[in-house]
Amino acid sequence: QSALTQPASVSGSPGQSITISCTGTSSDVGGYNYVSWYQQYPGKAPKVMIYDVSNRPSGISYRFSGSKSGNTASLTISGLQAEDEADYYCSSYTNSGTNVFGTGTKVSVL
């Protein structure tokens, strides 16, 4: 299975909004509403920020939102803050019953 495609890096100034894309196929992202997003700081375990395309776990800031259109899912971070600087990964369930991660995106706050 091929990794989902994410931009290598995205940057923005504090207070701005940024969007990270996650492109798959009809066999994964496009076929199921089981897309999730993870934030990872260096040396730390990933933390789920969005699950089932657009749901936020308890304790996750409203500034994080998710959506999907066709085979592409998106994570939007609004009101960008310095603490949002991290790596972000998407993940999707697939029609083989497996999960696949995205290639990862490094978010920089200018």
Q: Binding of other proteins at residue 48 (CB under 8 A)?
A: yes
Using rule CB under 8 A, residue 66 touches other proteins: no
Q: How far apart, in Å, do the first and last CA atoms of the chain sit?
A: 35
CA-nearest of 101, 84, 102 to 7 is 102
Region binding other proteins by CB under 8 A among candidate stretches 9-17, 19-27, 64-72, 89-97: 89-97
Give me the residues that bind other proteins (CB under 8 A), please: 1, 3, 34, 36, 38, 44-48, 51-52, 57, 89, 91, 93, 96-104
